[in-house]
Structure 1
Amino acid sequence: MQITLENPDYRYICRGVSAAGVMVNTREITRSFLLGPNVLVENWALSDMRIPDPTAWNAVVELKPALFILGTGSIQIFPEPRHLAYFLQRGIGFEVMDNAAAARTFNILAQEGRNVVAGFIVSI
């Protein structure tokens, strides 16, 4: 029986989530960030879902995802409907979940080769 290592077709994977941050590959990121299968944008402008910065959404759109997953920290916090509308008007799917669920969902969709971007809110 031959065993070979099969590397994924993408660079980034979420390996864990804690109260302090999100483990991406071998590094724990402790500030809000955007993650695509082949892109990592650190120090994302969105750090508190209760006061969303509209310019933070522009950074997501620039990555041209088909689906945007928003991880809102340790609990799921839904943004106002106008924020959802921002993405839907641009033809981008939008899902909201806590960071742990967002990490799991991102990994599955990245493995399927989907054009997904996840935004993780990490409070300092």
Structure 2
Amino acid sequence: MKFAKILGILFLVYVGVVVSFESGIGYFQPQGGDTLVLSVKDDDGLVSDRVLSRIEVDDQLYVAVNHWPRAWYQKVLANPDVQVTIDGKTRDYTAVKVTASDEAVRVDSARPRSAVFLLLTGFPPRRFVRLDG
């Protein structure tokens, strides 16, 4: 019984770490050298921005859905006409959900996730969006 309590407490602490990490990333949206800003409209026409890491494979631009909060991903699927800002330059793109397994494997291998990242994010499933411009 004591072991089960300890295990339960450790699990709750882990969930707290994941929630804190994911919330911090979503709130602060850190930008670096390989990030872009994706702007997408919702059904009411309101624009929301999301800072994402960009992945470039064979001269094609991709973004990964790496985290549990996925509201931006659902908006992109519903309204694929997006704007992308890279290094201060904004362009229009069409967001396309990557469904072909060979394309997904190729993009995944170009930007693998580390074990630490997976641990901190709670092992979310990974999806990709291709940005056709």
TM-score of the superposed pair, with normalisation by structure 2: 0.27
> What TM-score do you get using the length of structure 1 for normalisation?
0.29
Q: Which has the larger share of strand?
A: 2
Highest RCO, 1 vs 2 (Cα 8 Å, sep ≥ 6) = 1
**Higher helix content, 1 or 2:** 2
Greater C-alpha Rg: 2
